[in-house]
Amino acid sequence: MNINGSEKLASLKNKKVEKILDEYITLLKPASVTILNDSEKDQEYIKQLAVKNNEEKPLKMEGHTIHYDSPKDQGRDLVNTRVLVKPGVQLGKAIKTTDREEGLKEVFEIMDGIMEGKEMLVKFYCLGPHNSKFSLPAMQITDSAYVLHSEDILYRQGFDMFKELDDFFLFVHSAGKLENGVCVDIDKRRVYMDLDEERVFTVNNQYAGNSVGLKKLALRLAISKANKEDWLCEHMFLMGAKRKGRITYFTGAFPSACGKTSTAMIPGQSIIGDDIAYIRPDEEGYARGVNVEQGIFGIIADVNPKDDPLIYKTLTSPREIIFSNVLVQEDIPYWLNMGKDLPSEGTNFIGKWKKGMTVDGKEVLAAHKNARFCLRISELENVDENLHNPEGVRIRGFIYGGRDSDTNPPLLQSLSWAHGVYIGASVESETTAAALGKEGVRKHNPMSNVEFLVVPLGVYIENHLKFGEGLDVPPLIFSTNYFLKEDGEFLNAKTDKKVWLMWMEGRVHEEFGALETPIGFIPKYEDLKKLFEMVFSKAYTKNNYEEQFSIKTGKLLERLDRIEEIYKVEEDIPQMFHDHLEQQRERLKDAQKKLGDVISPFKFE
């Protein structure tokens, strides 16, 4: 086999890498192999290859390209994404598993010869900042230049780390057969995780949540590692909240498509990351976190000049951006709710598109709800100066968000660390287009991480409890709900999240009081009134407050019962979790008896 760039391989002097290459060249049977290093030249090669292979097409604006995924590959595949387990290993109900031997046999059969006639690409990256205790090296093998182009944007380069190294994550991907640059063998799509060997095999897909090894596949391997080593690997953004000339860092876990990126991008604040954080204790007893990534693979629907001015501006100016699954007309990208009228025809993920078109009796929208943009965080005006700091930043607050139309108030603070872990572990959210399946179904999503968990829930929760207990100054824990509705209308403007953030920041610095309710602390009316006035020059009425912050004991108790049902069947859930559930039930029942089914927040003054 002729290997392009074999001198690069030789310079690594890495026997394990060489062995892996031999193994997968034999299995995948590519026509050629190209080894890439961190150079600009190799990054440019990949960009051009993505266009040459038809996986991307240049758009009108300099640096912009469009990539389409198959209509059947527009979100993460929850059915065929599995953890390979040895006989006897139980991971619990939330996690899909396959017997390791059978799974490996199955996926190796699919992979046998899958790269025939294709170029195998090999590249090395670093998860987390360089030269840091957070850094984890990762090797990527793929036949998709789109995947590598995405990784060159989203991750830090890591070639040099592979000199003298034999402990790293491995991702082996093939998009399989392509037609017009789009993969077609979707029925043979598999994403199999082999935790024992810290490697993932993913085939017959291109949607980045399935294909890009360093994203959700590395998240799963790192969750396994973190839970063995007592740190946290979370599906969390990382941002700086700015007030009174100071900066205070928060992480936030939100289910996909529930306002995570737009929270990380609140105007006037700074962003470190929008998706995945590694968090470790520091010597002074604080939690420290880094962004695993250096780019954003963000949902583009709803990005408009009013709600997300910064991202909108960035997306509509020249720079390196991969758009995916949007509508394109005359080489200009359009997406849903972008604040202007969309053309009535163009090209999208189904091919030629015209307004009103249906497929299987369902109208095809101009762009997919899960259409995305991919760019470097350094391209954003609000990039935080600590993006690449090897020490990370001190995290003072965790935020758990969910999509909940009728139960939780917009904002809460937990009564303690352990109560906060209970709150995070009982997040319920209505499903969205980011994962394949029905939308709008209430689903339990602990720490918004359920789709990525590879350790039993009990282990995961225990690790959280221990983590906070081991800190002198644990982050405060908050929960938010941007999606509360009354008579079908949202009770909050999308931009209100800025006020919630300012309140949380003030709580960290002990500048605001709070009201204690059965489910946690809520803000006082006067503080919110002042903040709305200060931030938006907007009146916040007692009526607004009452509608949003009433404690709905009846609905909350129903929710608690649902959560209890789920945890009943999970093994080894720490007793502390059950205690918090029981205490919360008692408090709610008590309040219900005394004050009714829906309690005005003023009653807690």
| Closest residue to Mn ion: CB criterion | 275
Residues 373-412 that bind ligand SPV (CB under 6 A): none
Minimal distance, residue 449 CB to ligand SPV, in Å: 10
- Backbone dihedral angles phi then psi of residue 358, each to the nearest 5 degrees: -125, 150
Give me the residues paired with residue 542 across strands: none
Minimal distance, residue 257 CB to ligand SPV, in Å: 7
In this complex, which beta carbon is closest to ligand SPV, that of residue 297 or of residue 422? 297
- Residue among 169, 297, 349, 483 that touches ligand SPV (CB under 6 A): 297
Helix/strand/coil percentages in the chain, nearest 5: 35, 30, 40
In this complex, which beta carbon is closest to ligand SPV, that of residue 255 or of residue 506? 255
Binding partner of residue 76 among ligand SPV, Mn ion, none, CB under 5 to 8 Å per kind?
A: ligand SPV
In this complex, which beta carbon is closest to ligand SPV, that of residue 92 or of residue 209? 209
- Residue among 175, 292, 434, 588 that touches ligand SPV (CB under 6 A): 434
Q: How many CA atoms lie within 13 A of 399 on its CB side?
A: 33
Joined together, the tokens standing for residue 325 give: 């699954």
Minimal distance, residue 292 CB to ligand SPV, in Å: 12
Cα separation, 556 vs 538, whole angstroms: 30
Which of 121, 230, 166 shows the shortest CA–CA distance to 13?
A: 166
Window of 43-51, 207-215, 286-294, 567-575 that interacts with ligand SPV by CB under 6 A? 207-215
Minimal distance, residue 448 CB to ligand SPV, in Å: 8
In this complex, which beta carbon is closest to ligand SPV, that of residue 195 or of residue 434? 434
Three-state DSSP class for residue 399: strand
Q: Is 5 left (phi over 0), alpha (psi -120 to 50) or beta?
A: left
Mark whether 258 is an active-site residue: yes
Active-site residue, from 126, 183, 258, 374: 258
In this complex, which beta carbon is closest to ligand SPV, that of residue 221 or of residue 415? 221
Minimal distance, residue 484 CB to Mn ion, in Å: 23
Give me the residues paired with residue 249 across strands: 240, 395
In this complex, which beta carbon is closest to ligand SPV, that of residue 256 or of residue 414? 256
Provide the residue type at 401 as one letter.
G
Binding-site size, ligand SPV (CB under 6 A): 9
Helices (H) and strands (E) in the chain, counts: 16, 40
Provide the residue type at 601 as one letter.
P
Minimal distance, residue 403 CB to Mn ion, in Å: 14
Residues 441-500 that bind ligand SPV (CB under 6 A): none
- Residue among 208, 290, 421, 461 that touches ligand SPV (CB under 6 A): 208
Cα separation, 243 vs 535, whole angstroms: 11
- Backbone dihedral angles phi then psi of residue 215, each to the nearest 5 degrees: -85, -100
Provide the residue type at 390 as one letter.
P
Joined together, the tokens standing for residue 177 give: 């057969």
Binding partner of residue 434 among ligand SPV, Mn ion, none, CB under 5 to 8 Å per kind?
A: ligand SPV
Residues 67-86 that bind ligand SPV (CB under 6 A): 76
Asked if residue 382 lies in contact with residue 271, where contact means CB atoms within 8 angstroms, the answer is: yes
Cα separation, 245 vs 266, whole angstroms: 17
Three-state DSSP class for residue 370: coil
Asked if residue 13 lies in contact with residue 6, where contact means CB atoms within 8 angstroms, the answer is: no
- Other C-beta atoms lying within 10 Å of the C-beta of residue 60: 11
Minimal distance, residue 521 CB to ligand SPV, in Å: 29
Residues 272-301 that bind Mn ion (CB under 5 A): 275
Give the x-and-dash track for 236-275 against Mn ion (CB under 5 A).
---------------------------------------x
* b/e 134-145 (16+ beta carbons within 10 angstroms → b): bbbbbbbbbbbb
Minimal distance, residue 275 CB to ligand SPV, in Å: 5
In this complex, which beta carbon is closest to ligand SPV, that of residue 9 or of residue 208? 208
Please compute Rg for the chain using Cα positions: 24
Give the x-and-dash track for 240-279 against ligand SPV (CB under 6 A).
----------------x------------------x----
In this complex, which beta carbon is closest to Mn ion, that of residue 36 or of residue 153? 153
- Contact flag: residue 311 with ligand SPV (CB under 6 A): no
Joined together, the tokens standing for residue 157 give: 């380069």
- Residue among 149, 215, 280, 507 that touches ligand SPV (CB under 6 A): 215
Binding partner of residue 301 among Mn ion, ligand SPV, none, CB under 5 to 8 Å per kind?
A: none
Residues 517-576 that bind ligand SPV (CB under 6 A): none
Cα separation, 532 vs 502, whole angstroms: 10
Cα separation, 311 vs 189, whole angstroms: 32
Binding partner of residue 192 among Mn ion, ligand SPV, none, CB under 5 to 8 Å per kind?
A: none
Three-state DSSP class for residue 441: coil
Q: How many CA atoms lie within 13 A of 297 on its CB side?
A: 28
Residues 498-527 that bind Mn ion (CB under 5 A): none
Is 57 exposed, middle or buried (CB count within 10 Å of its CB: 0-12, 13-18, 19+)? middle
Window of 37-45, 127-135, 209-217, 352-360 that interacts with ligand SPV by CB under 6 A? 209-217
- Residue among 216, 288, 388, 529 that touches ligand SPV (CB under 6 A): 216
Cα separation, 73 vs 338, whole angstroms: 23
Binding partner of residue 444 among ligand SPV, Mn ion, none, CB under 5 to 8 Å per kind?
A: none
In this complex, which beta carbon is closest to ligand SPV, that of residue 215 or of residue 396? 215
**Cβ neighbours of residue 430 under 8 Å, at least 6 residues apart?**
403, 404, 405, 439, 440, 441, 442, 443, 483
Cα separation, 103 vs 82, whole angstroms: 9
Minimal distance, residue 485 CB to ligand SPV, in Å: 23
| Closest residue to ligand SPV: CB criterion | 209
Binding partner of residue 215 among Mn ion, ligand SPV, none, CB under 5 to 8 Å per kind?
A: ligand SPV
Is 496 exposed, middle or buried (CB count within 10 Å of its CB: 0-12, 13-18, 19+)? buried
Binding site for Mn ion (CB under 5 A): 275
Binding site for ligand SPV (CB under 6 A): 76, 208-209, 215-216, 256, 275, 297, 434
Annotated active-site positions, please?
258
